[in-house]
Chain A
Amino acid sequence: MSASTLILLVLGLGLAGWLVARSRAAMFRRANGGKRIASLPNYHAWYAALWIVVPTLLFALVWSQIADNLVIQHVLASPAAADLPAFGMQRQTMLTEARAVATGAAPAVFNPAAADLVEPFEEALTRYNIIGMVVTLLIALAGGAWAFLHLKPDFRAHTRVERAVLSLLLIASLVAILTTLGIVASLVFETVRFFGMVNPIDFLTGVNWSPNPMTDGSNPDPERYGAVPLFWGTFFIGVVIAMIVAIPMGMMSAIYLNQYAAPRVRTWLKPALEILAGVPTVVYGYFAALTIAPAIRDIALALGVQNPSSESALAAGLVMGVMIIPFVSSMADDSIAAVPQAMKDGSLAMGATQNETIKRVLVPAALPGIVAGIMLAISRAIGETMIVVMAASATARLSANPLEAMTTVTYQIVANLTGEASMDSASTLAAFALGFVLFLVTLVLNIIALRIVKRFREAYE
């Protein structure tokens, strides 16, 4: 019996429990002369259904994990398994083949030696299937009986159902948190391995970045892993250049949309601006690499710059700035809109012009929210990968000239992780260390931004 049939069976039992419990609760009500009972019949029904379905599904989950092992153990204990090769690929293949035939997934074994194993497999599968099914049904019945015994006119089924819903919600939120923890743990694990080969201080302060993918873990050559040029490139492209574009443009568009635009204009412009946020970053990447970068090089040439790079930091930074505009503008828009109308009226009633009101009252009052928006935008910009992969260069360089080629943390993560180096070489592991540093920085930025936003909200509520 397959897992899906089992699940259907459990759900069927649950439905049966639901209907029975509901009619029993309805009976209480009739017996009570149509007066109210402590909970609506539906809650009784859900109470019973949950007691049937949840424990059985939990058991099924656990059982599906251990049943396989039990089957294998049974097969290995059979006399036919004595002929199996002790270890290795062949043994594994034979077991897999025999299982495939036993479950009906394959018509016949390819390796005749595996044929003997088919029968023990069939035997074991049947046995554990029956055990599993019987236990499942028993649990379903026990759960149903337990629930049914609780049904009384004065039983408050709704609070129990409420609690079940609550735990469901809790589990849902835990999944996201646990996933994050898992990601962090895996990052930390690999980072620690990397720092076993390269001193963290060298990594964080060295200025020479030229990882050699051909070296293995035993000879990491720590001289080559100074990440400062990467941090600089990331900072220069994502924070300096991108923000020089994004902050003024974002602020000005937010102010225009919020304060000046006629409602009709606003209903068109605001979604249009938000579309910018929905453009896949790879498309921005094309744009940066194919349109902006050559244009910048041509302009630089025309201005008399010798040998301008065709992969300038400026191109990547400008396009990234455009990409970030909607983030800055929507946060700024929200914060300006959150400033109470009374504040604005107060300023206008003093004879301030619209412009003075915006400059001296609205923007200062909204500043915490705007700053928070900018920090979120920065953390987004320095984590941005596609644009820099397509438009920035692989050359690690410490330079303040925006026309030079520069590389970023994210670029190097991609380059080192997808390169030909083996998984335990220092150059691959360096990607994890870079990712970890990036993660920490964006985490701190986000935490600060969220705290500012929270304080700001409190100030106006």
Chain B
Amino acid sequence: MTQKILAAHAGLDSVKAGQLIMADLDLVLGNDVTSPVAINEFNKAGFDSIFDKEKVTMVMDHFAPNKDIKAAGQCKQCRDFCGKYDITNFFDVGDMGIEHALLPEKGLVAPGDCVIGADSHTCTYGALGAFSTGIGSTDMCAGMAKGKTWFKVPSAIKFNIVGKLPKFSAAKDVILHIIGMIGVDGALYKSMEFSGEGLVNLSMEDRLCMANMAIEAGAKNGIFAVDSVTLDYIKDKVNRDYKIFEADEDAEYDAEYTIDLSTIKPTVAFPHLPENTKTFDEIGDVVIDQVVIGSCTNGRIEDLRCAAEILNGKHIAKNVRCIVIPATQKVYMQAMKEGLLETFINAGCAVSTPTCGPCLGGHMGILAKGERAVATTNRNFVGRMGHPESEVYLASPYVAAASAVAGKIAQPSEI
């Protein structure tokens, strides 16, 4: 599927794994951390135009609302650049959200698109049947100027999804299970392709969560077959032509796995790698200091509903801080209308405006030496959320909310 999208964007009938191609881009993305480096390079290289003002987007989400004077300077540099080149899709505080939750919501990515973003979780849009991958600032710069970039065509691993998730198991548990199974370099340089009869049981938000973490297995991209769930999601969001690509019946894969959703249990990735996964039969008492519910992985409305289902009528444990971060303004508004924010605040949680903030140890919930957090985010590397001797445990919104109530890592069914 990935190979077909890349061939179409390179003007070729077909491509093979390992082939180097030059591909046209449908969208080039940057944020307030990566764009300033790209803008510096853009100016140094002497470029004086961008390839398409509709197809370059910058989202101020990492250290925004500005966490300090330097971060303010970086956002200002992006704002000035987008103003100068009249970039349509510049998202600043007030209408921004976490980039990978925001762009699908705004209809900026469609099936069959070829997207690069100077953020590793750009692979999220594979949920919509697009080829989408993270790159660095130099590639972002060249992409903004020329609307093209080079790729080495990846080979693919197929995940055949069957069955249906049990109560309190979530898409996050599925992707953590897969990363635990194949390892953090299990899909290095490759495409992870998700298809099968069970796909219909995964909502678009589930798919966005799973594609989001393809990078945590080292993958170049994660991609889902397009079906009625995809078309329902984009019908009132995408107002342009797009093309649906399907994998051939006889497509070649480096490996194939069948994932039976009905066997997936709540899963937690222990420090300091997303592959260090455990299910609750292997988890003892792990006392925690903080819970973060949000991020480009799990900050969407269904995630907040799951957390609220657990927290409703309860209070978080003494000595635990729980920070809830709706991923976009639209999610925030919807959560407010549904009374979820009230549930969170009554339970003793802090509710924040959208930001990547604590996920990457930027601001809004940094950990002290020796502290532990359960987070619905995507990385638990050394120092990821603060002090190098703090610890992050990755989990679903159900597990995160249950852990906040219990004061230790807990199963939703225990609460």
Answer yes or no: are A and B bound together in one complex.
no
A contacts, CB < 8 Å to B: none
